[in-house]
Structure 1
Amino acid sequence: MDDQFAFRDELPSITSQPVWRVLAVDDDADFQRATAFALSEFELLGGRIELIQAFSCREASMLLAKHHDIALVLLDVVMETEDAGLRLIKALREVIGNRETRVVMLTGEPGLAPAHEVMRDYDINDYWTKSELSAERLHTVLTAAVRGYAQLRAVATARRGLQMIVESSNALFCSKSPRELSTKILSEITSLLDLQTEGIACVRADEGSATAEPNARIVSASGRFFDCIDANLDALQPQVAAAVRQCLQAQQTLRLSDCTVLFFQRFQAGSDYACYIDSARALDDTQLELLKVFSASISRGLYNVALFSRLEEMAYQDDLLKIPNRNALIRMLDMTLKSEAKDQRVLVLIDIDNFSGANTAFGTGYGDFILGLVAKKLRDAFTHEVLIARVRDDLFAILGPQAQVKAAEVVALFRRHKRPYELGQVHSLSSVTMHLADFTGSASVALQDALLTLKQAKRLGHDQRGVYDPLL
C-alpha cells in the first residue's frame, strides 16, 4: 500500500460542525432552566452543545437506550428515590453497556452520597455539589468530559473497526471472482463506516487502459448504482464517473469534497480497481485510518481473486482458442448429469476429417487458423446456455439443450452454397450425438463412450453421423 493509499485532498473536505449531546437528568425545573441558559450559546471543541433534558431516571434510561451518542450525562443523585441516580449509572454501564459516555454526578445534599464512596464504587467521572457549579465551572467540566468522550469513542470505533476488518478478511480471501469479492467489499465498507448502502460502486479498469481517459467496467454496486453493474463507467452519474476516472488516472486514492475513491493498483490486485464511496458526511480521522487498513485487506483479496482466476484459466481454458477445454467439459458434464435438466441435454462431438493431413501439408499455422474458424463459428452460433469446448487436437464438444444442439445443424454451419465446406483443405466433419437421458454413468465415462462411438463411425469413412446407443 504505502504511497498508493495515501489520501489526497483534491478539494476542500467537508467540515460539518460536530454536535455534542449532553443529557441533564434532574427533577428540579429551576436547575434545568439554569443549565439550559448556561449552555445555550456555548461552543465546545469546534462543535455546539445539544442539550437533552430528563426529569426522572426512568425517562433518562429510555433516552440513554435510544441514543448511543450522548457525550455527557449531568446526573442528580436524588430523583424518584435517594439512590435513583446511582442505579441509573449501573444501568448505563452494565445493562446498556455504554462505557464511553461521561457521567458527572451532581447533588444538592452531599451527605446522601459521599463523594469518596461514590467515586470509588461507581463508574463516574466527576462529582460536584450544585452550589459549586457556576457557569464558568460548568463549561470547564463539560470541556474535560467531552474531550474524554471523544477520545474514548475514537478508541472504541478503531477497536470495533479493526475487529470487523479481521473478521471480514476470511470472507474476502475466500472469494473466487471479482464480482463476488467486490460485492463483499461493498458490504464490509458499509458496515465499517456506518454508511447507507446507497452510494458505493466498485469498478475495474480495462487491461491496458492506463491512458489519459481510462476505461473501466462496473463490477459491483449498491443502491442507486445497482442497475449499472456490468456497464461501463459512463453509466454512472457524470460527477461520479469523473471522480473514478480521476482516481484511475492519478493512480491514487482520493478524498474529495463529497466522496472518497479508493484505488487498488494492478501490481497488488491483478488489475486497476477503484471503489467509489459516497461520503456526503465527513469521515473522521479514525474512519480514514480504518479505510487505509481495510484497503490492505482488499488488495490481498483482489490479488487472491486474480491468482485464482489465472489458475482457473490455466486449468479450464484452451490456450490456443481461449475457449473451455476438456477439464471444463468434464466439470460441466458432471454437473449436468447430476441435475434435473439432464434429460433435456445433449452432448455432440465433432471431428475435422483429415485434419492431420492438412496440418502436415500446409503447416501448423494453417491448422491453427482452421481450429480458430471452427471455434468462432460455434461460439457465434449458440447462446450462453451452450458450452463449446475443445477436447483435444481437432475434436470439439457442444453441450446444451437438445432443442438447440443438433449435429446436422452444427455441420451445416460450415457449408456454403455449391461448395461442400468452407474449411479449405478440410473437406468434411464427422460427429456423434449422445442424449444424456440415455446415460447413467459418470462424466468421464460419458465422454469416453461418446469418443468410442465417434471412432467407430469414422471407420466407415468421412462425413459420418453417429448416435450413441447404450445397448451397443
Structure 2
Amino acid sequence: MSETDLLFTTDDAAPARAESLARPWTILIVDDDPEVHAATRLALLDTRFQDRPLAFVSAFSAAEARARLPTLRDVAIILLDVVMETDDAGLALVRFIREELNWQATRIILRTGQPGSAPEHDVILQYDINDYKAKTELTQTRLFTTVVVALRGYRHLINLETSRAGLRQVICAASSLHRTRSLDLFAEGVLLQLTAILDTQAHSILCTHRRHNGSVTVLTGSGRFAGLSTNPDDLDMEVRERLTATLALRRHVFGAEYITLYLPTPGDREVIVYIESGRPLTELDISLLELFGHNISIGYDNLKMWQQLEDANLLLERRVAERTLLLTESEADLRRFKSAVEHSSASILITDVHGVITYANQAVLETSRYGLDELLGNRASLFKSGAMPDQLFSVLWDQIRSGKSWRGELLNRRKDGTLYWEAVTISPVANATGTITNFVAVKEEISERKRLEEELRRLATTDPLTGTLNRRSFFERSSSDDFRRQHQGNAAVMMFDVDHFKSINDTFGHAAGDAVLAAIAAICRATLREEDSVARLGGEEFACLLPGVTPTQARLTAERLRTAVAEHAIVLADGRQIAVTISVGLALFTQGDDTLGTVLNRADGALYLAKKHGRNCVRQN
C-alpha cells in the first residue's frame, strides 16, 4: 500500500503468521467502527519493534474499554476514538486512564473522524494525551510512524522506572546496613540495574567467591535463575563451566549472548555476575557493564565490612558486660582491663543499682564535656535532655532490673546544653550469687547519622527548589486516618499556578522562573497558617490543604494569598523586578469525598475557570 492510500478504506484480510516467542507490545484499539479495528490490525500486521511483535486488544465502546482496562497489564499504546457513545466518550476515558488507573507511561493517541467535535488545540491543552490524529490523515506509513514513536516513548518511560527501582534497592541497602538482609537487598538492586542497562529481561546471577578456600555462594538470581538456593551445584552444567572459566581467567568473559563479569574486591572476595542478555551485546552495553561492575565490587566490599563491624560491635558489647563483672570482683582483673576500657572509643559508664555513677571512661568525658568529679556520685539522669518520653525510661529500668540488656537510642544533653544522640546498650552485672550489683552502659555518639537520616527524610518529602512538600508527601499527609477523622467536611484545597509562567521563562530565563517559584513559596509560608500544607505538584502548579476552615475562611485565605502575590515585586539576581499574579481554584471537602484526589480534581476545575475568566482571580468549585 502506498502512503497516499488511506488506511481506513482497506478491506484486505490480515495474513496469518506464526506466534512470536518474544513478549509482544500490547496495543488497545478503542473504536465503535469494526472496520477501523480490522484496518489497524492489517496495517500493523508484520510490525516489530525492538524485535518484539505487536498484540492487539479491541474494545468497541468507551464503556467496554473502561471495564476491560483494569484487567490488562503493560498496555503500551491506546488508539482511542473521540466520538463513540457520546461526543466526548473518548476524552472521558482519557481522564479515567490517567487519574483513576494512574497509567502515566501508556501512550494515548486520539483518532477522530470528526475533528470539529473536539478541536485539537483544546484537547491537547486540557487532556494528558500524546498525539491527536484525524482518521483521514492516517496512511499506513503514518500509522506505522506514529506507533513506533509512541512505543519508543513508552519503552523509555518503563526503562526509567526500572532504573529507579534498582537505585531504590541499592540506596535501601546502603541506608539499612544494620539489618541482616541488607546484602540481599543490595544484590537484588544490582540485578535490577543490570536489567535497566541492557534494556531487556536478562537472566542473571550474582555470586561471591573466597580466594583462599574456593567456595562459591549464589547471592541472588533473576529471570530463569530467580529463587535459586545459595548452592552453585543447582545451576546447570553450562553455567557452572562459564563461572569456573571466569574465576580461572580472573577477567571478564564475553559470549555471543552472555557476559560474565569478574569483580575483585579490596578484601579476600571475588564477585561474579553472570548475565544472559537474550540478544547480542553492543560495545556500549559492555562499557556500561564494566563501569557498573567496578561500583558493584566496591559496594559489596563496603557492605561486608559494615556487617563485620556490626558483628564486632555486638561482640564488644557482650564482652564489656562480662568483663565489667570481673572488674568488681578482682583487683588484678581490674588492672588488666582498666586500660582497655579507659582508652576505648566507645563511651563506657558504670552505675550502681540506683543509677548513681561509679565510673566513666575518657570517651564519656569527651562526649558529655563534664569533668569526672562532676559525674561521680551523680545519677545518670544528669544526661537526660527532657526530650525523650518518660515511658521509655520506665521500660528501660524494668528491663535491666529483670536481668536483661536494653538497647536503644537516646537524645542526651551535654554540660553546655547542646543535644546529641547516642546508641546505648545497658547491661546488668551480677555477682556470684546472681544478685545485680551494677549496670554497664556502652554508648556511641550517632548525631551525624541521625542528621543524615533526617536530611534523607527531608529530601524524600520536600521539593528541593521551593522547600514546600512534594506531591507524594502532600497526598500522604492528607490521606492519614487522623486527618480524615478530624477535618473531613471542615477543610478545603486550593490549587494555584503562576499566570503566564512560560512567558516569564522565555523572557527572563529559567533561573528567573525558579526564583519566581521560590518567592511564591516564601509568600505562602508568610501568608498561610502553620497548620496549612503547601506543596509543589509540578512545574508552576501548587496545592494547599487548609484544615479546620469554614467556606468563608477558605475563600478569604485564597483571596489573601492571591493579593499577597500580586502586591509582591520579585527581585532577580541581576536587580530586575518581576510582577507576577496567580490564578486560584478552591474546593471544599464534603462528606462524600473518599480521597484527596477527588477534591483536588474539583479545585483543578475551579483553577481552569479562574484562568478562563482572565487570571489573577479566585474561583470555587
Task: Return the TM-score normalized by structure 1.
Answer: 0.52
1:26: Cα distance to partner?
Answer: 0.7
Could you report, residue by residue, the CA deviation over 1:262-301 in whole angstroms, capped at 9, with x for unpaired residues? 433122x542122445666899999989876764554334
2:434 maps to amino acid:
F
Q: CA deviation at 1:76?
A: 0.3
- Say whether 1:330 aligns with 2:329: no
- Work out which of the two has the higher radius of gyration on C-alpha atoms and give 1 or 2: 1
The answer to whether the aligner puts 1:83 opposite 2:88 as a matched pair is: yes
In structure 2, what is the equivalent of residue 249 of structure 1? Answer: 248
Tell whether the 8 Å contact from 1:23 to 1:51 is kept in structure 2 after alignment: yes
Report if the CA contact (8 A) 1:175-1:305 is conserved.
Answer: no
Q: Number of residue pairs matched? A: 309
The Cα of 1:130 is off from its aligned counterpart by 1.9
Shift in Å at residue 196 of structure 1? 10
Q: What is the SS of the residue equivalent to 1:272? A: strand
Cα distance in 1 between the residues matched to 2:201 and 2:159: 21
Post-superposition offset of 1:75: 0.5
Among 121, 138, 144, the alignment partner of 1:139 is 144
Letter paired with 2:236: Q
Q: Distance in 1 between matches of 2:220 and 2:158?
A: 30
Distance 1:120 1:33, change over 3 A: same
Residue 113 of structure 1: CA displacement? 0.8
Structure 2: tracts of 5 or more residues without a match? 1-19, 324-430, 441-621
Identity of aligned residues (%): 29
Task: State the shift of 1:72 in Å.
Answer: 1.8
Deviation of 1:443 after TM superposition, in Å, equals: 11
- 2:102 aligned partner, one-letter code: G
Deviation readout 1:79-111 (Å, 9 max, x if unpaired): 232211101112222222223222221112222
Q: Deviations over 1:399-436 (max 9, x none)?
A: xxxxxxxxxxxxxxxxxxxxxxxxxxxxxxxxxxxxx9
Question: Could you list the per-position Cα deviations for residues 219-256 of structure 1 after superposition, in whole angstroms to 9, with x for gaps in the alignment?
Answer: 64569797854x6x556432222222233234345565
Name the residue aligned to 2:128: 123
Q: 1:186 to 1:257 in 2, by over 3 A?
A: farther
Residue equivalent to 1:95: 100
Aligned to 1:10: none
Aligned residue among 280, 297, 305 for 1:299: 297
The residue correspondences of 1:150-189 to structure 2 (distance < 5 A) are 150-171=155-176, 173-174=177-178, 182-189=183-190
1:24, distance to aligned residue in structure 2 (A)? 0.9
Deviates more, 1:293-302 or 1:245-254: 293-302
CA distance in 2, matches of 1:117, 1:219: 56
Shift of residue 166, structure 1, vs aligned partner: 2.9
- Give the Cα–Cα distance (whole angstroms) in 2 for the partners of residues 282 and 442 of structure 1: 71
1:273 aligns with 2:271: yes
Give the secondary-structure state (helix, strand or coil) at the position aligned to 1:24: strand
Q: In the superposition, relative to structure 1, how do residues 304 and 39 fare at CA in structure 2: closer, same or farther (>3 Å)?
A: closer
In structure 2, give the amino acid aligned to 1:271. R
Q: 2:184 touches 2:220 (CA, 8 Å); kept in 1?
A: yes
Q: Distance in 2 between matches of 1:279 and 1:145?
A: 25
CA distance in 2, matches of 1:97, 1:283: 34
Alignment of 1:353-372 (within 5 A): none
SS at match of 1:167: helix
Runs of 5+ consecutive residues of structure 1 not aligned to the other structure:
1-14, 210-214, 317-323, 335-435, 446-472
Which of 182, 194, 206 aligns to 2:211? It is 206
C-alpha separation between the residues in 2 aligned to 1:276 and 1:441? 56
Secondary structure of the corresponding residue to residue 144 of structure 2: helix
* Structure 1 contact 182–202 (Cα < 8 Å) conserved: no
Alpha-carbon distance between aligned partners in 2 of 1:290 and 1:89, rounded to the nearest angstrom: 38
What RMSD over aligned residues (CA atoms) do the two structures have, in Å?
4.6
State the AA in 2 paired with 1:184. Answer: L
Q: What aligned pairs does 1:46-85 form with structure 2 within 5 A after superposition?
A: 46-85=51-90
Q: C-alpha displacement at 1:25, in angstroms?
A: 0.6
Cα distance per residue 1:206-225 (max 9 Å; x no partner): 32x7xxxxx33326456979
Q: Is the 8 A contact 1:165 1:294 kept in 2?
A: no
Alpha-carbon spacing, 1:235–1:158, altered in 2? closer, same or farther (3 Å)? closer
Q: Is the 8 A contact 1:16 1:282 kept in 2?
A: no
Is the CA contact 2:26–2:77 (under 8 Å) kept in the aligned structure 1?
A: yes
How many angstroms does 1:138 deviate by?
1.8
Q: 1:216 to 1:103 in 2, by over 3 A?
A: same
Q: Higher relative contact order at CA 8 Å, sep ≥6: structure 1 or structure 2?
A: 1
- Structure 1 position 439 matched with structure 2 position 438: no
Mapped to 2, the partners of 1:186 and 1:239 lie a distance apart of 23
1:202 match: secondary structure? strand
- C-alpha distance in 1, partners of 2:201/2:143? 37
SS of equivalent residue, structure 1 residue 111: helix
Amino acid across the alignment from 1:22: I
Letter of the 1:76 counterpart: D
